[in-house]
Amino acid sequence: MWIELLTKVLIAGAVLTGILSFGGVLTWVERKQSALMQDRIGANRASILGFRLLGLFHIMTDGIKMFAKEEFIPRTDHRVLFLLAPFIAWLFSLAAFAVIPFSPELTVAGYQVTLQVANPEIGLLVAFAMMGMAIYGVVLGGWASNNNYALLGSMRATAQMISYEVALAAAAVGPLLIYRTLNMQEIVIRQGQLYNGWLPLWGIVLQPLAFLLFLVAGAAETKRVPFDLPEGESEIIGFNLEYSSMRFGAFMFTDFIEKILVACLTTTIFLGGWQVPWLADDGFRLGGALALELGPMVVWLLRLAAFGIKVCALIYVLMLVRWTLPRFRYDQLMSFGWKFLLPLAFLNIIVTAAVVLVLNL
């Protein structure tokens, strides 16, 4: 029992460390990518002993800056809520990673090891529940700031995030009807089949519309451009107006964490999770004589890497979108969510359900 507990703690620690450092790297990637697209050089000033390393030290300096800045706390009746709010958002976004299956199971010395903290039957619902709870951080933060602009910003944020959460969940129903399970590991395993022996039957192949809807709703859920009205750093003031220092940093970092979360969920549901095309448990099977035998450890590592690559690719796509599109107007945002995304998601559910019923999948 103690060994199991210890492995769980170790896995949780590994996932946490991985996500947090990946989030840190993303802040740098984001800056470099924006610079690339706007024909600038981007962050490259920070250096240690003359080494600049493409500006990678900016991650560190940003962190130090965040911690070292003066923290201003406005006069408010709800100081505790004000202080707590960024960490509510932060904590619940991180908690959702508990159910993400980063890798398949591997038997090491008689123990089942998975890079997945918990594998409940209702895995996907847990992720959605945690995402829903993370909204409270934004809402309460804006409200406790005792500032009308922050309050308006947090109301925009609430309305947007609730609206798009509905669309997000509705978009996920289509693939779930096909997989017939909510268990995250099982969802990935169901995507391991091949159509006609060559086309991997991933969610994106079976449910292309749902994939697009999920990605768009996910981008809105993470408050990215073109859906960044809750924040609108420079033009329309957002819920984080009164926050400074590390608490502002926590809000900003939560955004990056949520972006990783949406990418992880999309990968799991639509891009086959840790599945590598044509890779079976004992090596590549390309049909006929083409085969490559691989040991279980190599296969496991390949699959873990596949998950990482898919997540990175998705985040890159989201980043391209962020620096390409202009921002929505608020009424456009709302009608886009409720009158376009949601009906399409419902249509997708109905059609998928009918097809599943008729073909008896």
Partner 1 sequence: MAEQIFFYFFAALSIVSAFLAVTRKNPVVSVVWLISCMFSLAVIYVILSAFFLAAVQVIVYAGAILMLFVFVIMMLNLKTGMVGQLRNLGLKFVGLIAALLILRQFYSAIKGAGAMTGLPPRAAAGFGEAAAVGKLLYSQYIYPLELMAVLLLVAIVGALVLAGKEQS
CB closer to partner 1 out of 155 and 355: 155
The least CB distance from residue 166 to partner 1, in Å, is: 9
Angle made by CA atoms 111, 270, 229, in degrees to the nearest 5: 115
Q: Closer to partner 1 at the Cβ: 125 or 199?
A: 125
Closest distance of CB 212 from partner 1, Å: 24
CB of 158 to partner 1, least distance (A): 6
**Token pair 């107007």 in the structure block, residue:** 329
Q: How far is CA 228 from the centre of its chain?
A: 16
Closest approach, Cβ 354 to partner 1, in A, equals 16
Kindly provide the b/e burial profile for residues 264-296, where b requires at least 16 CB atoms within 10 angstroms of the residue's own CB.
bbbbbbbbbbbbbebbeeebbeeeeeeeeebee
Nearer to partner 1, 36 or 125 (CB): 125
Nearer to partner 1, 114 or 181 (CB): 181
Closer residue to partner 1 (CB): 59 or 94: 94
CA distances from 81 to 124, 136, 140 (A): 29, 11, 7
266: left (phi over 0), alpha (psi -120 to 50) or beta: alpha
- Other Cβ atoms within 10 Å of 72 Cβ, number: 11
Query: How many other CB atoms are found less than 10 A from the CB of residue 178?
Result: 20
| CA dihedral angle for residue 159, residue 136, residue 95, residue 242, rounded to 10 degrees | 100
Count of residues making up the chain: 361
Query: In this complex, which beta carbon is closest to partner 1, that of residue 77 or of residue 293?
Result: 77
Q: Quote the least distance from Cβ 53 to partner 1, whole Å.
A: 42
Nearest approach in angstroms of CB 91 to partner 1 is 12
Minimum CB separation of residue 140 from partner 1 in Å reads 7
Q: Which is nearer to partner 1, 154 or 191 (CB)?
A: 154
Task: State how far the alpha carbon of 202 is from the alpha carbons of 80, 165, 190, 265, 279, in Å.
Answer: 46, 23, 8, 14, 14
Please state the closest distance from residue 188 (CB atom) to partner 1, in A: 18
If the CB atoms of residues 159 and 246 are measured against partner 1, the closer one turns out to be 159
> Between the CA of residue 220 and those of 214, 228, 255, what are the distances in Å?
10, 8, 11
Report the interface residues with partner 1, using CB under 8 A: 77-78, 81, 120-122, 125-126, 128-129, 132-133, 135-136, 139-140, 143, 151, 154-155, 158-159, 162, 165, 182
- 69 residue type, one letter: K
Nearest approach, Cβ of residue 44 and partner 1 (Å): 42
Q: How far apart are CA 98 and CA 197, in angstroms?
A: 33
Which residue, 91, 86, 51, is CA-closest to 66? 86
Q: Confirm if 127 and 209 have CB atoms less than 8 A apart.
A: no
Q: Which is nearer to partner 1, 136 or 323 (CB)?
A: 136
